[in-house]
Amino acid sequence: MSLINGTNELLSSFEFLYVSERPIIGYINLYFIPVWYLLGIPGNILSIIVWFKMSRHHPSAIFYLYLCINDVIFLILHVIFSIQYFWERNVLNTVFICKTFSFLFMMTQHNNIFIILLNSIERYLQINHPFLFTVSSNPILKLLNKRIVRNMVMCNVACILAAALQSPQFTFWVIKNQFCVVNVSSYLNSVYIHSWISETITFIIFPIIISMVNVCLIRQIKLLNSKYNQVFSKRKTLISLFRKTNIQLKNTEKMSFDQTNNNNKSVGRISNDRNYKMDKTINKKNESNRRVIIMLVFLNIFTILATFPATLMYLISNNFAFKEISISLHDLRKNKMWNRHLNFQTAYAFVRFVSISNFACNFFIFYWNSSKFKQYFFWSN
């Protein structure tokens, strides 16, 4: 889903033809994409506030807090990207700013998937292997038994992995004619190899792993629910048998055990109240887990659907490249390769626009799927 790698095309000598021949490309870049800034930056900031307050009581909120921080940083960086390349205002005009911006821009794109992957794995371990860290005598593993500590460690690991994967960006980018560009003369092959490897791992292999983990999560939740229903039905059967036995005893020994029966009634009433409260608590917990899993699965599916097409189009973009520009505009419009290239760039602009929604729609996903998020949101206001 590499957005920044499209910079070479934006700086090419026929970039102006995109806007003149297909104005929709210019409209998308200049006017449609900023809609995501208006929705995503305030939405992610609100989500950060809510998840920060929830993190004291809900360890899983740590993942969503990190995710929203990452995504708001990406959107702010994308504003700078648009100013630099779409609005043609040269703001990345020093070596340090150019290299740092390129690194952070790519790192936040990949870190989004890394956080979601580790969140899915953590949830899988929590449900399938709840005592994984408690059985160990290692003090570090025992410390990881605390979910809030484990989640913070996993989020920091995601950031470190994403940073390590994108560290070559410091080498690839240079200032040339006061513009921040890839050093094509020295690192062209390295850029292509690195982009292919990083894009394939992050946006193709990792989403497949996320999908597999989600399937395992859903199956395990269904299995646990069916087991709970079986136990619950057996308990109900035992309680009904107990009540029938009490009624029979009451009918046969009514005269001699009046006081005892009265005591049994009160004990039975207390027992029923406890059973009801216990069942209600278990149902509440199951419903809460179900909602958390649904939100996680929905977020994962949305991320995959938003990012995968952009990644696929980036990986095949070289097959639609057009390098001959030393022909007249009249001949260019009749050129089949140019029209093929232009159609691809138009589709790519739409796909890039859709892919940014992955970073901008977090608030709406959380608000729609999490009742606790709604409660804390209104409470924080």
User: What are the boundaries of each domain within the chain?
Assistant: 4-241+286-380
Per-residue pLDDT tens over the stretch 170-179: 999 999 888 8
Cα gap 211→223, rounded to integer Å: 18
Reported as a pLDDT band with limits 50, 70 and 90, residue 251 is: low
Which whole number is the average pLDDT over 225-241? 62
Beta-carbon neighbour count of residue 336 at 10 Å? 7
Domain at 4-241+286-380, CATH from 1.20.1070.10, 3.40.50.300, 3.40.109.10, 1.20.58.760: 1.20.1070.10
The shares of helix, strand and coil residues in the chain, as percent rounded to the nearest 5, are 80, 0, 15
Global confidence as pTM: 0.81
| pLDDT value at 2 more than 70 | no
Per-residue pLDDT tens over the stretch 317-356: 888 887 665 666 677 777 888 888 889 999 999 999 999 9
Q: Any idea what DSSP says for residue 32?
A: I
| pLDDT value at 56 more than 60 | yes
Residues 6+ apart with CB under 8 A from 200: 315
Torsion over CA: 239, 241, 244, 246 (sign): negative
Out of 104-108, 145-149, 190-194, pick the least confident: 145-149
Cα gap 112→115, rounded to integer Å: 5
More confidently predicted of 16 and 369: 369
Which whole number is the average pLDDT over 133-145? 63
More confidently predicted of 361 and 372: 361
Which of 164, 166, 146, 168 is closest to 156 using CA atoms? 164
Cα gap 314→106, rounded to integer Å: 14
More confidently predicted of 260 and 52: 52
End-to-end CA distance of the chain: 36
Cα gap 154→350, rounded to integer Å: 34
Report the relative pairing of strands 179-182 and 173-176 from DSSP bridges.
antiparallel
Per-residue pLDDT tens over the stretch 107-133: 999 999 999 999 999 888 888 777 666
Residue written as token pair 């994308």:
78
DSSP class per residue in 179-227: EEEE-HHHHHHHHHHHHHHHHHIIIIIHHHHHHHHHHHHHHHHHHHHHH
